């Protein structure tokens, strides 16, 4: 029989192991679709981003998706921060300077445009939700800051959606500007397939297949939604090591405390044993020497 404390310790150990094996998997629950499978480098407790993939993902976002989708939480400096695409500061500055932002007022009280700096937020394609909806046939291209976190299925959903365009089955009604997608809830999406083979030319020479671009841009969007994912993984790992050490200490002190009550006999039984032993010893003595 396990003691209560042993059982508690065992329960904690089991929960640590389950947490470890299911870490980051919460997205896949409740999804009613079989998403396409990819091995993401950022999954699991030891998961880290693939820098080259994030850099390519940024390129795809910028050259393709940024025409319609904003990522309003990101600043250009994030591109050079640890745990992200890790462009050099110089590269991030060069990227920022390609965009124009409004600043001001100047001494004449006028607003003016200037090249973006590291501290500026990513430039948005439209000034507001209404403008972006109006420009997209009444459908709002969602901001991508937290999209990977907001959608059930997360990375797998976005990746599958990008590759999920197909001919509509016969009898499936589609209005103008609406497309069939296997992974969109309801199978109707008001975004035409944004990617096609060779759409971008990767600067690192990687072949820009639709699958490759989908994978890279999805990784980029996961990072955009969770820029501190790697730091969190490291933290979680440390916490688990700490818990294991703590458990070992609790277990050891428990053993020590309980060893004082090592005998399984009842106290009275033990006293009785002692008297009996004394009696036997006494009986064994030679009465003559007992003076
Ligand atoms: C021409 C404009 C346009 C471009 C370019 C574009 N999108 Fe979209 N996107 C939209 C619109 C509009 C919607 C909303 C569709 C709807 O609600 O039916 C959308 C929706 C989405 C959704 C959300 C589906 C959901 O669950 O609501 C994802 C994910 C997405 N786009 C990813 C991308 C990615 C990644 C790129 C770049 C590779 C991209 N889009 C490029 C217009 C665009």
Helices (H), 122-228: 129-135, 147-150, 154-163, 210-225
Q: 25 CA distance to ligand 1 centroid (A)?
A: 24
Q: 134 alpha carbon to ligand 1 midpoint, in Å?
A: 14
Per this entry, what is the length of the chain? Answer: 291
> Residue 75's beta-bridge partner residues?
121
> What distance in angstroms lies between residue 35's CA and the mean position of ligand 1's atoms?
18
Report DSSP state, residue 169. P
Task: Say yes or no: 41 and 131 in one domain.
Answer: yes
Q: How far is the CA of 191 from the centre of ligand 1 (A)?
A: 5
Residues with Cβ within 8 Å of residue 279, at least 6 apart in sequence: none
Do residues 62 and 9 share a domain? no
Residue 156 lies in a domain: yes
Return all residues near 153 (Cβ < 8 A) that are at least 6 apart: 27, 28, 31, 33, 35, 160, 183
| 181 within some domain | no
Q: Is the CB of 142 inside a 6 Å radius of any atom of ligand 1?
A: yes
**Which CA distances in Å does 69 have to 106, 142, 170?**
31, 6, 31
- The verdict on 17 and 52 lying in the same domain is no
Q: Looking at the domain assignment, is residue 70 inside a domain?
A: yes
Of 203, 230, 257, the one marking the end of a domain is 230
Widest CA span in the chain: 126
Cβ of 158 closer than 6 Å to ligand 1, yes or no, is yes
Which residues, given as ranges, of the chain have pLDDT below 70?
A: 1-2, 19-33, 262-267, 284-291
Q: What is the CATH number of the domain that holds 64?
A: 1.10.760.10
Question: Is residue 170 one of the residues assigned to a domain?
Answer: no
pTM exceeding 0.85: no
Structural domain contains residue 174? no
Same domain, 203 and 264: no
- Does residue 221 sit in the same domain as residue 239? no
For residue 171, is it within any domain?
Answer: no
For residue 117, the enclosing domain spans 27-163+191-230
125 and 159 housed in the same domain: yes
Instruction: At 52, list the tokens.
Output: 């080259």
Amino acid 7: pLDDT: 82
**Residue 110, in any domain of the structure:** yes
Q: What is the pLDDT of residue 11?
A: 85
Cβ of 164 below 6 Å from ligand 1:
no
Domain count for the chain, please give it.
2
Same domain assignment for residues 48 and 159: yes
Short-list 221, 170, 224, 162, CA closest to 192 = 162
* CB of 191 closer than 6 angstroms to any ligand 1 atom: yes
Q: Give the domain-ending residue among 180, 215, 230.
A: 230
Examine the domain organization and report whether 98 and 137 are in the same domain. Answer: yes
Whether residue 172 lies inside any domain: the answer is: no
Q: In the chain, what is the straight-line distance between the N-terminal and C-terminal CA atoms, in Å?
A: 52
Cβ of 189 closer than 6 Å to ligand 1, yes or no, is: yes
Rounded CA-CA distance 145/124 in Å is 12
Q: What are the beta bridge partners of residue 179?
A: 189
CB contact set of 66 (below 8 Å; sequence gap of 6+): 122, 125
User: Are 45 and 8 contained in the same domain?
Assistant: no
Indicate whether residue 200 lines ligand 1 (CB < 6 A): no
Q: Is the CB of 69 under 6 A from ligand 1?
A: yes
pLDDT number for residue 37: 82
d(C-alpha 278, C-alpha 236), whole Å: 60
Nearest to 152 by CA among 25, 22, 26, 27: 27
In which residue are the tokens 């439209």 written?
Answer: 126
Same domain, 40 and 136: yes
Q: Tokens representing 290?
A: 């007992």
Q: Residue 106: which residues within 8 A CB-CB, separation 6 or more?
A: 112
Q: Which atom of ligand 1 is nearest to the CA of 218?
A: 35
How confident is the model at residue 278, as a pLDDT?
84
60 lines ligand 1 (CB under 6 A): yes
Q: Assess whether 74 and 199 both reside in one domain.
A: yes
Does residue 115 sit in the same domain as residue 31? yes
């Amino acid at each position: 029989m396990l003691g209560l404390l042993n059982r508690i310790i065992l329960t904690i150990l089991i929960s640590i192991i389950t947490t470890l094996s299911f870490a980051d998997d919460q997205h896949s629950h409740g999804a009613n679709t079989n998403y396409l499978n990819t091995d993401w480098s950022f999954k699991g407790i030891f998961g880290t981003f693939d820098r080259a993939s994030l850099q390519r993902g940024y390129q795809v976002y910028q050259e393709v998706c940024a025409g319609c989708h904003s990522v309003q939480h990101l600043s250009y400096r994030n591109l050079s921060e640890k745990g992200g695409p890790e462009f050099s500061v110089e590269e991030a500055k060069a990227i920022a300077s390609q965009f124009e932002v409004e600043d001001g007022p100047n001494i004449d009280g006028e607003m003016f445009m200037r090249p973006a700096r590291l501290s500026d937020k990513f430039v948005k394609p439209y000034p507001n939700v209404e403008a972006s909806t109006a420009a997209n046939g009444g459908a709002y291209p969602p901001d991508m800051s937290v999209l990977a976190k907001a959608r059930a299925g997360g990375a797998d959903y976005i990746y599958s959606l990008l590759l999920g365009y197909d001919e509509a089955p016969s009898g499936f009604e589609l209005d103008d500007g609406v497309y069939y997608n296997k992974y969109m809830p309801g199978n109707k999406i008001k975004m035409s397939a944004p990617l096609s083979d060779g759409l971008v030319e990767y600067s690192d020479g990687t072949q820009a297949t639709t699958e490759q671009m989908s994978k890279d841009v999805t990784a980029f969007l996961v990072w955009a939604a969770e820029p501190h994912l790697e730091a969190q993984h490291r933290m979680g790992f440390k916490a688990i090591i700490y818990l294991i050490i703590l458990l070992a200490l609790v277990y050891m002190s428990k053993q020590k405390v309980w060893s004082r009550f090592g005998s399984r006999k009842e106290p009275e039984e033990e006293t009785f044993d002692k008297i009996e032993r004394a009696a036997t010893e006494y009986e064994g003595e030679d009465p003559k020497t007992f003076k």
